[in-house]
């Protein structure tokens, strides 16, 4: 029964996707005598926490009830009062928790406070599922570095475009709609200047049934070659555009870009290009907790080599276009020996009509 109610709490938490950053996704269910009497989730950043919403939704007194919550209740004052104290005040009898909060400010203190007040606490129900739910939050709160997702789309023979650069469309409509769902969930989207020059993308979020939240647009552009009429510099969006460049950029061009409302980040040079490690750290300092990388083969290779990628989502379309000069998802110098290849683990497969999506996490060296 614990798993049943925790699954419901996870379902509720997922409703907050895209709206709670940089806070975690949290769902809560209140059960009394085998009946759900209240439920809620963290709906948006700065809003009431899941526990509060669950208690407020209850249609009968919660005294003596059990609460199922995906993440350890907070024990500190942030934008809202501590939830652990609320559960004590409401005389909740038992709390079942999916995972301990990795936030150093909480990290077991909420659990201790509950137990010190004679509330029975169980931790670790569906813990792996809850960790996947909050993989972005866990990475960011632990390291202050954004969780980076590398997304690629290729044909069956491994091409991302034809030999003349045409790439519309490699994947089908369903696959592309799913990518927009990911854009809605992350804080930033990153491409290289090659993608801007070739495709002039908007890098916005377009959902089917609701208005999505645009990610912050991040353009990696060593020499600041971006055209002043590029869509990312002129688009009507609540989120900003960031140009990541170097001392190779023309200062007058940078001023013109600033006049358009874009932000400039000057990074050191590394291998004669933008220092991606420096950039990722800087973006984390700006509270950008997650980035979807939709780059071309050059950026993809560089950011993999830098070790910044946490997760890969690769779409494979059942098409063959061939061509010795047609680009592949990852370019660069490449890896000399297969034994040194970058490997993925915890693989998941999903179908979008005829397209196959492979999702996995970069295997970390032990």
Buried b / exposed e along 73-99 (16+ C-beta atoms within 10 A): bbbeeeeeebbbbbbbebebebbbbbb
For residue 333, count other CB atoms closer than 10 A to its CB: 7
Q: Which residues are catalytic?
A: 51
- Report the alpha-carbon distance of residue 359 to residue 332 in Å, rounded: 22
3-state secondary structure of 300: helix
3-state secondary structure of 171: coil
Q: Give 128's contacts (C-beta < 8 A, 6+ positions apart).
A: none
Q: Give 262's contacts (C-beta < 8 A, 6+ positions apart).
A: 232, 233, 240, 241, 242, 243
The number of helix segments (H) and strand segments (E) in the chain equals 12, 16
Residue 103 to residues 30, 108, 241, 246, Cα–Cα distance (Å): 24, 9, 29, 34
Residue 300 to residues 15, 26, 28, 92, 333, Cα–Cα distance (Å): 31, 32, 38, 50, 12
Cis bond leading into 140, ω under 30°?
no
Name the helix (H) or strand (E) containing 269: strand 269-270
- Report the alpha-carbon distance of residue 236 to residue 210 in Å, rounded: 18
Backbone phi, then psi, for 112, in 5-degree steps? -60, -40
| 100: exposed, middle or buried (Cβ count in 10 Å: 0-12, 13-18, 19+) | middle
Buried b / exposed e along 18-51 (16+ C-beta atoms within 10 A): bbbbebbbbbbbbbbeeebbbbbbbbeeebbbbb
């Amino acid at each position: 029964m614990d798993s049943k109610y925790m699954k419901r709490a996870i379902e509720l938490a997922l409703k907050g996707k895209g709206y709670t950053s940089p806070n975690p996704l949290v769902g809560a269910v209140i059960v009394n005598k085998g009946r759900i009497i209240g439920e809620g989730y963290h709906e948006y950043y700065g809003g009431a926490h899941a526990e509060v919403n669950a208690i407020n939704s209850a249609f009968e007194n919660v005294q003596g009830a059990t609460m199922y919550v995906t993440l350890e209740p907070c024990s500190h004052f942030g934008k809202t009062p501590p939830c652990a104290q609320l559960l004590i005040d409401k005389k909740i009898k038992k709390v079942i928790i999916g995972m301990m909060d990795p936030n150093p400010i909480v990290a077991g203190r909420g659990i201790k406070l509950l137990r010190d007040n004679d509330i029975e606490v169980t931790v670790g129900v569906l813990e792996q599922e809850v960790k996947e739910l909050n993989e972005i939050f866990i990475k960011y709160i632990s390291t202050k570095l954004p969780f980076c997702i590398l997304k690629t789309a290729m044909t069956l023979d491994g091409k991302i475009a034809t030999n003349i650069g045409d790439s519309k469309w490699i994947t089908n409509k369903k696959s592309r709609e799913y990518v927009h769902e990911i854009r809605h969930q992350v804080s930033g989207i990153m491409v290289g200047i090659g993608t801007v020059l070739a495709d002039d993308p908007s890098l916005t979020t377009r959902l089917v049934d609701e208005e999505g939240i645009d990610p912050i647009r991040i353009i990696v552009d060593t020499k600041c070659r971006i055209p002043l009429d590029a869509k990312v510099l002129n688009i009507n969006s609540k989120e900003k555009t960031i140009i990541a460049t170097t001392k190779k950029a023309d200062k007058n061009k940078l001023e013109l870009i600033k006049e358009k409302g874009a932000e400039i980040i000057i990074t050191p040079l590394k291998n004669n290009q933008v220092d991606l490690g420096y950039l990722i750290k800087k973006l984390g300092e700006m509270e950008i907790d997650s980035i979807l990388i939709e780059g071309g083969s050059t950026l993809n290779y560089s950011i993999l080599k830098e070790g910044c990628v946490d997760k890969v989502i690769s779409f494979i379309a059942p098409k063959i276009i061939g061509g010795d000069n047609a680009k592949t998802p990852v370019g660069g110098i490449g890896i000399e020996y297969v034994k040194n290849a970058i490997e993925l683990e915890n693989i998941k497969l999903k179908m979008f009509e005829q397209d196959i999506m492979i999702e996995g996490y970069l295997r970390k060296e032990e």
